[in-house]
A = this chain, B = another copy of it.
Amino acid sequence: MPTTRSDCTALDAADALAHARARFALPDGVNYLDGNSLGAVPKGVAQRVAHVIEEEWGRGLIRSWNAAGWFEAPGRIGAKMAPMLGAAPHQVTITDTISINLYKAVVAAVRMRPDRRTIVAERGNFPSDNHIVDSIAETFGLSVRYAPAGAIAATIDRDTAVVELSHVNYRTAEIQDMAATTAAAHAAGALIVWDLAHSSGAVELHLDRDRADFAVGCGYKFLNGGPGAPSHIYVAERHHTHLQSPLTGWYSHKAPFAFRHDFERADGIKAMLCSTPPMLSLLAFETALEAYDGIAMSAVQAKGRALGDLMIKLYDERLARLGFGLSASRDGARRGNHVSITHAESYRIMQALIARGVIGDFRAPDVMRFGFGPLYVRFVDVFDAVEAIDDIMHKSDWKNFAPPESGAVT
């Protein structure tokens, strides 16, 4: 029997995380399935930022670097989110962007394996990860061996300095086995850098248990930190005494206010900071994290998995026969928090969906991606999205929209 809207309403009624939706300021008339690109606004963020501007910056002025705790914010917020990564708190800090943090992490790792000449990275990873890896390889005279995620472990050898790959793929949402791939890297004497862009805030992570060396993630996707929210970086404690980041700004100095000519590296994770962080964006991120207060990441992952399972079931029932393809694992245990559906006209179909208030995103050349912000997306939202796609195809609405312009933001 095909799935009905009532079935989905019943799933929502039974959802242990349903209460979390009230923690967000969601606009009327929008079915938002793009929290994997930009999370919705958690309540409290607007108020916090207004306070930072009017009171801390406005009245406190320069004094707020001490009095309002600005100076210590990167480490304080890192410690707050560390449990979401399965990490002891002193190993995480919040700074810069994910590409810049990836650059620091890969360079630091390469410098710990000076006798090895190869970086192993994932072909099919988010392209800018590869651009950063290529840039580092060129600078340090290394070569890069690209392999599909499933073949990474077999590609690592005794010449591999560093392995870099995503834990959850940005298209397929396939989850890599962090423990196994990390063990394979370590068995060959290599270090590993994990990209958590589509993992943090979406799935359970056990960086410490799985023996990750480095990891970087995004603040603006599932963590709802706001557009361009600062990134997080994790470094396992065992590497804290050797951290040679190339970005030796004053925040990574042991005595930043001594103004010494010579650089003396800060201890621990502070070595991965660089310079004065964008406080409005950083403190917005801190408040945004409160949306996760009291919620276990196991429950978050289970909710996302159930939403994805429903999407795939509805795909089978209603979309497969309309010429769509599925670019997502059917194994929920190996799938992160989005489902990608392919179609030759995906761009125009997504435009038609957005015109109806159903917001996912398009990834060239042919992917419609639907992400499930696990704290606010309902089962009925997934049903309504599939129903809208079905209706658009039957009415050929999508033909009203132009094909993509080259270079457009999509």
Contact = CB atoms under 8 A, between A and B. Distances in A.
A395 interface: no
Contacts of A248: 99, 128, 131-132, 134-135
Contacts of A259: 126-127, 363-364
Contact of A261 (B99, B127, B275, B363): B127
Task: Tell me which of A123, A247, A361 has the highest count of chain B C-beta atoms within 10 A of its own C-beta.
Answer: A247
Given A257-B409, A261-B123, A364-B258, A61 B46 contact: no
Interface string A105-130: 00000000000000000010011101
A41 B66 contact: no
A385 interface: no
A259 B256 CA distance: 39
Interface in A242-277: 246-250, 253, 255-261, 263, 274-277
A374 interface: no
Given A49-B53, A62-B37, A276-B227, A257 B97 contact: no
A100 interface: yes
A298 interface: no
Contacts of A34: 61-62
Interface in A373-410: 406-410
A41 B57 contact: yes
10 contacts: A41-B53, A49-B53, A61-B359, A65-B409, A97-B276, A98-B275, A127-B250, A127-B263, A227-B280, A279-B281
